[in-house]
Amino acid sequence: MPFKAILKELVENSPGSTGAILADWEGEAVEQYCLTDTYELKVTAAHQGIIISQLKDVLTGFPTAGALTHLAIKTENQLFIVGVVGSDYSLVLTMDNDILLAQAERCFARTIQLLIKEIY
């Protein structure tokens, strides 16, 4: 399944989602599916990649925490789920801030597994 189709399925199955992007270890877009501005999504992914990298570093001081899988970031107007895809990629899902997070997280986790199978 091509990346764009996987990302489109994630957005369509997560009500309130506005876009999803797969980025490499440098924050560069590999593929995205977006209902709004693709430039804004690319900038968001680049910044979220930095956050993931820094959080991974912080978690090395807490060995019982285990590996970082994903995190949710809520702002006044938006919600982001940011996740690790293998060792070299990240996935970002952007949403309205009033969505059902649990449903989006289930779809997000499934998408991570599909991307890992596709990449590795």
What pTM value is reported for the model?
A: 0.92
Which residues, in sequence order, are CB contacts of 89 under 8 Å at separation 6+?
22, 23, 24, 25, 30, 115, 119
Mean pLDDT throughout 95-104? 90
Q: How confident is the model at residue 1 (pLDDT cuts 50, 70, 90)?
A: low
CA–CA distance, 32 with 103 (Å, rounded to integer): 21
Two tokens, residue 36? 């709004």
Two tokens, residue 39? 């430039």
Tokens 């690790």, located at residue = 84
pLDDT at residue 17 in the model: 95
Q: How confident is the model at residue 73 (pLDDT cuts 50, 70, 90)?
A: very high
Which residues, in sequence order, are CB contacts of 107 under 8 Å at separation 6+?
10, 13, 14
pLDDT, tens only, 20-57: 999 998 889 999 999 988 999 999 998 888 888 899 88
Separation in Å, CA 65 to CA 6, 34, 57:
29, 33, 12
Who has greater pLDDT, 73 or 98? 73
β-sheet bridge partners, residue 78: 96
Tokens 């997070």, located at residue = 101
Check pLDDT > 90 for residue 71.
yes
pLDDT, tens only, 80-93: 999 999 989 999 99
